[in-house]
Amino acid sequence: MITTLLVANRGEIACRIVRTCRELGIRTVAVHSDADENALHARVADTTVRLPGASPVDTYLRGDLIAKAALAAGADAVHPGYGFLSENADFARAVLGAGLHWIGPPPEAIEAMASKTRAKKLLGIEPLERVTEADLPVLVKAAAGGGGRGMRVVRRLDELDAALEGARAEAASAFGDGEVFVEPYVEGGRHVEVQILADTHGTVWPLGTRDCSLQRRHQKVVEEAPAPGLSEELTQQLYDTAVRAARAVDYAGAGTVEFLIADGTPHFLEMNTRLQVEHPVTEAVFALDLVALQLRVAEGAPLPPNPPRPSGHAVEARLYAEDPAHDWTPQTGILHHLSVPAGVRLDTGYEAGDTIGVHYDPMLAKLIAHAPTRAEAIRKLAGALEKTHLHGPVTNRDLLLRSLRHPEFTAARMNTAFYDRHLPGLTEPAPDPHAPLAAALADTHGRSRFGGWRNVPSQPHTKRYAMAGEEHEVRYRHTRAGLEADGVRVIHADARLVVLEVAGVRRKFEVARYGDQVYVNGDALTALPRFPDPTTQLAPGSLVAPMPGTVVRVAEGLTEGAAVQAGQPLLWLEAMKMEHRITAPVTGTLSALHVTLGQQVSVGSLLAVVQPT
CA–CA gap between residue 382 and residue 402 (Å, rounded): 8
State how far the Cα of 286 lies from the Cα of 299, in Å rounded to an integer: 22
User: DSSP string of 518-586?
Assistant: EEETTEEEEEEPSS--GGG---TTEEE-SSSEEEEEE-TT--TT-EE-TT-EEEEEEETTEEEEEE-SS
Pinpoint the alpha helices (H) of 115-231. Answer: 116-122, 160-175
* Span between the terminal Cα atoms of the chain, in Å: 71
As annotated, the active-site residues are 274
Q: Do 166 and 154 touch, CB atoms closer than 8 A?
A: no
Q: Other CB atoms closer than 10 Å to residue 99's CB: what's the count?
A: 8
The H or E element spanning position 225 is strand 219-225
What does the alpha-carbon distance between residue 151 and residue 219 come to, in Å, rounded to a whole number? 11
β-strand partners of 222:
214, 317
What span, in angstroms and rounded, lies between the C-alpha atoms of 79 and 6?
6
CA distance 584 to 588: 9
Do the Cβ atoms of 89 and 110 come closer than 8 Å? yes
**Per DSSP, what are the bridge partners of residue 36?**
none
